[in-house]
Structure 1
Amino acid sequence: MKLTTIALLALFTPVVAAQGPSPQERATAIKESLAQNQAALRTYSWIETTEISLKGEVKKKEQKQCSYGADGKVQKTPLAGSAPAPSSSQKEGRGGRGRGRAKQAIVENKVEDMKEYMEQVAALVHQYVPPDPQKLQAAQAAGNLSVQPSSGAAGLSVKDYVKPGDSLSIGFDPAAKKLTSFNVKSYVEKPKDDDVTLAVTFGRLADGTSYAEQTVLDATAKKIQVKVTNSGYKKTS
């Protein structure tokens, strides 16, 4: 019996040792990586392009010059030429009469009705991206961090990150100390009524600094998509 017990312990011990870092250790590594990466990004300026689409048609496209201010917050300046993209219906309305004008008015009213909601959806992107080390710290303190099974990379799941009931999945490469994936399930106003999903694709600059190259948020119920692309990075200091 003693030999059997010892043998079982010998088999079990390597499994325990191979379990890897705890959620707290992974959260700490991710927070440290985010802090270092954000410090590097503060030495850059870039262009942010936002497209808001309704039913697959771009309704608004704008570009902003971005850089970090002395207070550590991103400052954005609209670039010339940023304006709502005209829809095909609006183009038809400009050249038509009667029914064309009526159709144009209906389209414009629908767009106006959706405008506030679309802006809320667009604003939601910036509540999640870039990931905030302080919010991760708060989630950790509340016990809302858990290990996510992943091969070749560290995975972390976070719940109640921005809103009650939302979830955040982070992939992290411990060797490179870089985020590999960032996916969110959230909502705009009411859970299940207007659920949204958000996915981030990361790019890497010449000095190794990573950045959110493209963020895509889909509000399926309302058929709205927000796509934010960051490009044109230049050193400012």
Structure 2
Amino acid sequence: MKQLNLVLILFLCIGITKITAQSDTKADVAMIKKNLADSNANMKKYEWIETTKVFVKGEQKSAKQKQCYYAVDGKLTKVDIGGGAEEKKKGGLRGKIIENKKEEMSDYAKKAIAKIQTYLPPSSEKIQKVYGAGKTTVQILEPNTKFKLNFPDYNETGDNLAVAINKPKQKIMAIDVSTAVDDSKEKVVFNITYSDLPDGTQYAATTKLDAPAKDLKIVIENSGFKNAAGK
């Protein structure tokens, strides 16, 4: 009888733990969605500089800057304001081969940057869809403080968007994404580090993409925030 009671107590404790965990995850997802929604709304008050650097085999190949702001229709607008000087083209057959490789890498880099933009800013609706399907998993980074929530198949089958949060501060710390650009077997990963503006608005400060199969690295930094004209 005593053993039966212990078994019942054990099952009861497991049930309570499971309910608590589900409740915590629901609250964390709600916090992430709220922060993203608040950030998306507040960013419309600002304009800033986006700097994109492309590295191949560790060597910087380009650096471009864009002025970013939200237009009257609410769409994010980016205007080129500068870039690195182009390398002098080499002649002959060897030069042609080099130029073809550069063009191929440039096309891939453009596709990779475009792919990043499909995850930024993260969609509250897509996060809710993954959570609602019961796919969300939680990793403990620091007990009672820092956690990582994984949202598999966020944008497409086989990808994963992971959001690292500081629970006591109710803040997003970083977002990691695993996806593919051309070949589904050639995974690319990128990490987005979040920072806060003076009014508490969270934004993607630095995005780093690594494509090991191509020896390619892309770094995107957002800086120079100021109130947009007339806002």
User: How high is the TM-score relative to the length of structure 2?
Assistant: 0.85
| CA drift at 1:227 | 0.9
User: Which of these residues, 156, 175, 182, is aligned with residue 182 of structure 1?
Assistant: 175
Amino acid in structure 1 at the alignment position of 2:203: Y
Q: Secondary structure at the match of 2:54?
A: strand
State the alpha-carbon separation in 2 of the partners of residues 50 and 106 from structure 1: 26
| CA drift at 1:67 | 1.1
Q: Secondary structure at the match of 1:189?
A: coil
**Compared CA separation, residues 7 and 115, structure 1 to 2 (3 A):** closer
1:109 aligns with 100
Amino acid in structure 1 at the alignment position of 2:52: T
| CA drift at 1:55 | 1.8
User: Which of these residues, 62, 67, 70, is aligned with residue 69 of structure 2?
Assistant: 67
| CA drift at 1:107 | 1.7
| CA drift at 1:65 | 0.4
1:119 aligns with 110
| CA drift at 1:19 | 3.5
| CA drift at 1:176 | 2.3
| CA drift at 1:214 | 0.7
Contact 1:51 1:227 in 2 (8 A): yes
| CA drift at 1:42 | 1.4
Contact 1:26 1:154 in 2 (8 A): no
State the alpha-carbon separation in 2 of the partners of residues 66 and 135 from structure 1: 25
Contact 1:197 1:219 in 2 (8 A): yes
**Compared CA separation, residues 19 and 143, structure 1 to 2 (3 A):** closer
1:9 aligns with 9
1:46 aligns with 48
State the alpha-carbon separation in 2 of the partners of residues 211 and 184 from structure 1: 16
User: How high is the TM-score relative to the length of structure 1?
Assistant: 0.83
Structure 2: tracts of 5 or more residues without a match: none
Contact 2:192 2:205 in 1 (8 A): yes
State the alpha-carbon separation in 2 of the partners of residues 228 and 46 from structure 1: 13
**Compared CA separation, residues 105 and 7, structure 1 to 2 (3 A):** closer
Q: Secondary structure at the match of 1:206?
A: coil
**Compared CA separation, residues 13 and 124, structure 1 to 2 (3 A):** closer
Contact 2:38 2:201 in 1 (8 A): no
Contact 2:160 2:178 in 1 (8 A): yes
State the alpha-carbon separation in 1 of the partners of residues 16 and 217 from structure 2: 44
Deviation per CA, 1:82-135: give whole Å up to 9, x if none.
25652xxx47x4xxxxxx655433321211122222210111111122212122
1:159 aligns with 152
| CA drift at 1:23 | 3.3
Amino acid in structure 2 at the alignment position of 1:111: K
2:191 aligns with 199
- The percent of aligned pairs where both chains have the same amino acid is 34
Q: Secondary structure at the match of 1:225?
A: strand
User: Which of these residues, 21, 25, 33, is aligned with residue 27 of structure 2?
Assistant: 25
CA-based RMSD: 2.6
| CA drift at 1:72 | 3.1
Q: Secondary structure at the match of 1:32?
A: helix
Deviation per CA, 1:49-103: give whole Å up to 9, x if none.
1112222222232110001223433111110x325652xxx47x4xxxxxx6554
**Compared CA separation, residues 158 and 14, structure 1 to 2 (3 A):** closer
Q: Secondary structure at the match of 1:190?
A: coil
Aligned residues: 225
**Compared CA separation, residues 14 and 150, structure 1 to 2 (3 A):** farther
| CA drift at 1:29 | 1.8
